[in-house]
Every structure is written in C-alpha cells, then in structure tokens.
Amino acid sequence: AGTTAPILCPPGTFSAASGLINASECDICTAGSYCASAGLTAPDGPCAAGYYCPFGMTTATPEGYNCTGGKYCPAGSSAPIDCPAGSYNEESVTGKVDCDPCPARHFCNIVEQQAAPYSLPGDRVRPVICPKGYFCPNGTASKNDNPCPSGTYGNTTGLADADDCMKCSPGMYCLNPGSVSETGLCEAGYFCR
C-alpha cells in the first residue's frame, strides 16, 4: 500500500528536496543551527550565543552544550572556539559569547604558552606573566610584542608598559631592545648619560 498522507521530516532534520521516500533522506540539521519543528525546508536559525550546536540540534539553547569554560561561542557556533591571541576567558566561566582582553603584565597566546619555557598544559588560552626584557599592556598577544626600548632594560617579569623598563644608569649603555640588563660600561672616549 502507498502513503496516504506525507510524513514530515522529524525535528533535528530538514529537507528542501521533494520526492523523498523515507526519513533517512531528510538532511540532519546543519551544525551551528537548530531545527525545532517537523517538516522544515531549512533550519530554524542559528544556535544562540553562549551555546554551540553540533549536527541535529532541536533547540537554539541545547542542554549540555553551554559554551565550554575558557572558550567562546558567538551565535551560530558549531563548537566552542579558542580565544584569539591577546584575549582569554576564565576556565570556570561557561557560556561566554566573546573573550576578555589579556590583562596588563601578561600575554595570552596558546602556542607560546605551550612551548618552553612555559610548557603549560591544556587547550585554552590563559594569561602568562610577561618575560624579562618586555612589557605587556592590556591585550598583549605575544611575549615578543613589546621589547623594552634601546636605552632601557627589563630585569623583572610582569612589566605593564615602557615606563616600567629601567633607564640605563649613567656611565652605562643599553644597546638592544628587549635587554634584561645593561649592555656594558661606557668605554674610554665615550660618554653615556
């Protein structure tokens, strides 16, 4: 016997095609969107900000898919997204729709934090104290972004701006940007203020 009435594609699916024979031919709802009703020809809309929607979701705010701590999920996310360099989110805070700027005196870069000498585990960006010879204002993306300028040096970690770098002492010189100590004593025939 043939079909007496069309059967709707179930929630979590949609289909813009006609002539389907069974439910398995309905398209699974696109990742990043949701399909709440039966019989849809397109997804209802994007996943809500603060959530992520893998394939087949039936609500914009799916239970158990709140954005993971340390990541962010703008509207239409199919998975939690790493914060870009220069920003981060606390691991304890879930459902974030954007990232916070890296705090002063720190840099935020997942590649650099996982490399020596830091070797921090995990798959989320976290603030790391600015190294000697450099300063890190809010939003610093790399440990190498802001070297202490020539004529200065940075002998401590966690400097926030260029004014935190030490001026070279009278009679000494500081040749290279990013120095962690004075380069040397002013030689005979020269003067250094």
Q: Are strands 172-173 and 100-101 parallel, antiparallel or unpaired?
A: unpaired
Q: Can you tell me which residue has the tokens 């004014």?
A: 163
Q: What is the pLDDT of residue 154?
A: 97
Q: How far is CA 11 from CA 4, 31, 33, 79, 171, in A?
A: 21, 14, 12, 21, 78
Mean pLDDT, the chain, integer? 92
**What is the pTM for the complete model shown?**
0.77
Residue 92 within any structural domain of the chain: yes
Is 150 inside a domain boundary? Answer: no
Q: Is the pLDDT of residue 135 over 70?
A: yes
| pLDDT > 70? residue 1 | no
The answer to whether residue 121 scores a pLDDT higher than 80 is no
Q: How large a percentage of the chain has pLDDT more than 90?
A: 74
Q: Looking at the domain assignment, is residue 118 inside a domain?
A: no
Domain contains 123: no
Torsion of CA 10, 12, 18, 21, to 10 degrees: -50
Burial (CB count <10 Å: 0-12, 13-18, 19+), residue 44: middle
- Check if the beta carbon of residue 193 is closer than 8 Å to that of residue 172: no
Is it the case that residue 99 has pLDDT exceeding 90? yes
In a domain, 83, yes or no: yes
Does residue 113 belong to any structural domain of this protein? Answer: no
Task: Describe the chain by its helix, strand, coil percentages, rounded to 5.
Answer: 5, 20, 75
The predicted-structure confidence for 162-191, as pLDDT tens digits, reads as follows 999 999 999 999 999 999 999 999 888 888
154 part of a folded domain? no
Confidence of residue 63 (pLDDT cuts 50, 70, 90): very high
Question: Rounded distance, CA 98 to CA 57, Å?
Answer: 22
Three-state SS at 163: helix
- Mean pLDDT along residues 47-56: 97
Domain count, the chain: 1
Question: Is it the case that residue 120 has pLDDT exceeding 70?
Answer: yes
Task: With beta carbons less than 8 A apart as the criterion, state whether 87 and 139 touch.
Answer: yes
Contacts of 60 (CB under 8 A, 6+ apart): 34, 36, 44, 45, 46, 47, 48, 51, 53
Q: Which residue range(s) make up the domain with 29? A: 8-101
User: For the residues 42-57, what does the mean pLDDT come to?
Assistant: 97
CA proximity to 21, closest of 7, 33, 35: 7
